[in-house]
Each structure stands twice: as C-alpha cells, then as structure tokens.
Amino acid sequence: MAHDWQPDFEQLVDEHQSMVYSLALRMTGDRGLAEEIAQDVFLELDKRLGKIESAAHACFWLRRVATSRSADALRRRKARRTSLWVTIEEDHGVPAEERTSPLGARLEQLLATLPEPQRAALVLRYQEELSPEEIAATLEAPLATVKSNLQRGLKLLRAKAENHLKEYVRGF
C-alpha cells in the first residue's frame, strides 16, 4: 500500500528511545538487557522502515515489538526478579531519589515480581497509558484476557504494596 509518510530513523530513535527502553526495563528488570533489547528493536525497525505507514504505526510497532522481545528475553533468562532492581537505583548516574520517590522504586520492585503477562499489561496501562483495547492490540491478545490480567495484576500489586510498603502508605 502506498503511503506519503517519509520515516526518519534518527528522529524515530529520538522520539521513542525512552519508551522502548522503559518498556524493556520494566519488563525485564535488567538495565543491560533492556538496552540490548532497545538496540535490537530499533535495528529491526530500521530493516522494516519501508513497511511502516505512519508515525502512529511506528509507535505501535515499537511498543509491540519491545514488549514481545522483552517477554522472550524474560522467558529465556528467567530473570531474578527483585534482586535485579538493585541496579536500577543508579539510573545512569542519577540517584533514584532525584528521578522518582522511594515509593516508586519499591513499586517498581514489586512490579518485577508479578507474572509476565500481568506485568506487560500493567506497564502498558500505567507507563504508556493505553486503554485495554490498545493493550490487547499491542499484545495481540484477546481483550478479555487483557482485562483479566489488568485486574489480577493490579490486585496482586495492591496486595503486595499493602504488605511491603507499610512504612510509606497510611491507607489505600
């Protein structure tokens, strides 16, 4: 199909590197792996640039591929969950406290302990602010499954937060 949009790879990297890296980081909990995934995703985009029809399509494609590559990497490496999040506090030389609150950092740790499908749904919901329909399209999963994963993930995360973050939370 012919389309007028002229993609600029460098501009796409500038616009979406934070999104792709954050998705991979929240999914894997491993900074090095997230960087590796981000590189792979953008190099794959470069190969398929001719098939991308619009800026929105590029964004959708990047989200979908970043999430699926991260899930694949997770399955391969069976990531060590919470312990990996110790490294994130450095945040490339910026202390975590300067970027986010300790509560945020702890919630990130708890997020990393959720099952992978629930984690993917929650990251897309809260980081990318996607609707359940958009998440279903991104993950290529049935809407009912996505809604269930969102509900269960949120419930689990809330329960874990209640148990582990008592020092930060006076009530939900």
Question: Which residues sit at the interface with another protein, rule CB under 8 A?
Answer: 9-10, 13-14, 17-22, 25-26, 31, 35, 38-39, 42-43, 46, 91-92, 94, 99-104, 107-108, 111, 122-123, 126-127, 129, 154, 157-158, 161, 168-172
Q: Find the shortest distance in angstroms from Cβ 22 to another protein.
A: 4
Burial of 20 (0-12, 13-18, 19+ CB in 10 A): buried
Q: Find the shortest distance in angstroms from Cβ 171 to another protein.
A: 5
Q: Find the shortest distance in angstroms from Cβ 155 to another protein.
A: 10
Q: Shortest CA distance to 69 belongs to which of 87, 106, 43, 47?
A: 43
Judged by beta carbon, residue 4 or residue 96, the one nearer another protein is 96
Q: Shortest CA distance to 62 belongs to which of 28, 95, 97, 19?
A: 19
Judged by beta carbon, residue 14 or residue 72, the one nearer another protein is 14
Tokens in use for 133?
């329909």
Beta carbons within 8 Å of 149's beta carbon, 6+ residues apart: 117, 118, 120, 121
Q: What is the dihedral of CA 120, 123, 125, 129, to 10 degrees?
A: -140
Judged by beta carbon, residue 46 or residue 133, the one nearer another protein is 46
Q: Find the shortest distance in angstroms from Cβ 83 to another protein.
A: 19
Judged by beta carbon, residue 2 or residue 95, the one nearer another protein is 95
